Amino acid sequence: MHIPDGFLSLLISAVLWLVTVAFLVVAFWRANRTLDERRIPLMATLTAMFFAAQMMNYPIIGGTTAHLLGGPILAITLGPFPALIAMTIILTIQALFFGDGGILTFGANVFNMGILGTFIPFAVFALFQKPKPKRERILVGAFLGAFLGDVAAAIAAGLELGFSSTFPYGPVIAVLAMGLHHSVIGIVEGFATVMILLVLYEVRPDLLPVLAAAPLASGPSSTAEKELL
């Protein structure tokens, strides 16, 4: 999904750069107010984990590459704005030091993976928590949010490529190629998101207030959970 330079028209690249910069300004302002010292190590750990995961990608016809994103679990555990910052850090290192994604197309890549890939999963996850968080809704919301976030980011990349005169394939081929491949990856991302949530619940439930309010086990298995009961 990392779009290299030369694949997008300058107009599309410029528009998405502007949108991305606007989101980042808000993200840094919000993160400065909401991130605490407990979540910064989690942010660093997940950022490093999915930096490595994104480096394991494969080329697809009619598009660029397919791979896990990591945006969903970042958004669910940290919130969408810190998740956007984490994804931007990942994409910056990949573009500058590994040539994975272009500079002119950097705004598009951040828009797809850092904005759509985090805000959509967070919105879907939050929707499933109303009116009151429950175990089943938490897990289903996390899975569906991850799946839909991956697919939406892939479709957006396909549309951007397909409507660029510099790209050899039209929008139909690009969207189908990106969407179909990332539908499969979205399923994997959904399971990975759920598994990471379960692990975090076992080792650091204090970082997941939503899960602490809706125990994942039938009986209290931690001190934090016992206190809630």
Q: Which domain CATH number covers 189?
A: 1.10.1760.20
List the domain range (segments joined by +) for residue 171: 10-217
**146 found inside a domain:** yes
Instruction: For 96-137, write each residue's pLDDT tens digit.
Output: 998 889 999 999 999 999 999 999 999 999 898 877 767 788
**51 found inside a domain:** yes
**58 found inside a domain:** yes
Instruction: For 68-87, write each residue's pLDDT tens digit.
Output: 888 999 998 888 999 999 99
pLDDT of residue 228: 28
**59 found inside a domain:** yes
> Is omega for the bond preceding 131 within 30 degrees of 0, making it cis?
yes
**227 found inside a domain:** no
* pLDDT above 50 for 223: no
* Average model confidence (pLDDT) across the chain: 84
pLDDT of residue 65: 62
**226 found inside a domain:** no
Rounded to whole angstroms, how far apart are CA atoms 55 and 186?
A: 17
Number of domains in the chain: 1
**203 found inside a domain:** yes
Residue 59: phi and psi, rounded to 5, are: -75, 150
Instruction: For 158-173, write each residue's pLDDT tens digit.
Output: 999 999 998 888 999 9
pLDDT of residue 217: 41
**175 found inside a domain:** yes
pLDDT of residue 92: 95
